[in-house]
């Protein structure tokens, strides 16, 4: 099911281009647009229903659902921060695609960000990817204890939690779009 919200953008087409052949036929959900709280809830309900129909293992369903929830919340918070900064509506849009693969599930998200934010986010992603399961657990507890929040309102727990729940390294990319925007993509594989 492909859903589109907001204005037409090349974002969804870029994401769909990453999947060719048989993977394209296994897309469970694809959405592009502004993600408000009500829409996040509706998408999560849809994912929960679809996963209940296709995935027999309740633990896998729960892990996929939790990864999707964190990813959607990250996109929602990023969109709000872009709107608060007075950027264009397209800058606040997010893209999410959930695909069933032979070895599990892929949760792919994308959004525009300011080029000046890339190094900070890359460092955070590399730090998360460098940690073992025990290291992720310790970092999660440390972030909870420090009580600091980012400009988007999060405590920096989202990426850590995504890595913990997926049990895999986070795949990411940054593609310069123009002088004021870089396209950030995050792919999370959840093994079945």
| pLDDT per position as a tens digit, 119-152 | 999 999 999 999 999 999 999 999 888 866 555 5
Measured over all CA atoms, what is the biggest interatomic distance in the chain, rounded to whole angstroms?
46
pLDDT tens, 173-189?
999 888 888 989 999 99
- Sequence-distant (6+) residues with CB within 8 A of 50 are 28, 29
pLDDT tens, 93-122?
889 999 999 999 999 999 988 899 999 999
Rounded to whole angstroms, the Cα distance separating 157 from 154 reads 7
| pLDDT given at position 77 | 82
Number of C-alpha atoms within 13 angstroms, CB side, residue 25?
3
Average pLDDT, rounded, for the chain = 83
- Sequence-distant (6+) residues with CB within 8 A of 48 are 61, 65
- The pTM assigned to this predicted structure is 0.82
Compute CA 76 distance to the chain's CA centroid, rounded to the nearest angstrom.
10
Class of domain 2-191: alpha beta
| pLDDT given at position 36 | 85
pLDDT above 70 (res 15): no
State the average pLDDT over residues 29-41. Answer: 89
Structure-token pair, residue 184: 């950030």
| pLDDT given at position 18 | 53
| pLDDT given at position 88 | 65
pLDDT above 70 (res 13): no
Percent of the chain past pLDDT 90, that is, above it, reads 54
pLDDT above 70 (res 2): no
| pLDDT given at position 19 | 47
Helices vs strands, H then E, count in the chain: 6, 6
Cα R_g (the chain), whole angstroms: 16
Closest CA to 46 of 73, 61, 28: 28
pLDDT above 60 (res 92): yes
Domain residue ranges of the chain, discontinuous segments joined by +: 2-191
| SS3 state of residue 191 | strand
| pLDDT given at position 144 | 85
């Amino acid at each position: 099911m492909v859903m589109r919200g907001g204005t037409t953008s090349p974002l969804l087409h870029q994401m769909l281009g990453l999947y060719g052949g048989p993977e394209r036929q296994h897309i469970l959900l694809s959405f592009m647009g502004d993600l408000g709280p009500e829409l996040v809830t509706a998408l999560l309900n849809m994912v929960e229903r679809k996963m209940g129909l296709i995935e027999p293992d309740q633990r896998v369903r729960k892990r996929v659902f939790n990864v999707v929830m964190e990813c959607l919340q990250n996109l929602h918070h990023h969109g709000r921060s872009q709107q608060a900064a007075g950027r264009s509506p397209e800058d606040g849009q997010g893209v999410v695609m959930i695909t069933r693969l032979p070895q599990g599930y892929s949760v792919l998200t994308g959004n525009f960000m300011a080029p000046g934010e890339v190094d900070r986010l890359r460092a955070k992603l590399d730090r998360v990817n460098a940690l073992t399961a025990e290291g992720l657990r310790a970092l999660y507890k440390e972030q909870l204890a420090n009580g600091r929040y980012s400009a988007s309102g999060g405590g920096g727990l989202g990426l850590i939690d995504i890595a913990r729940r997926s049990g895999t390294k986070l795949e990411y990319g940054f593609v310069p779009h123009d002088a004021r925007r870089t396209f950030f993509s995050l792919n999370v594989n959840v093994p079945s």
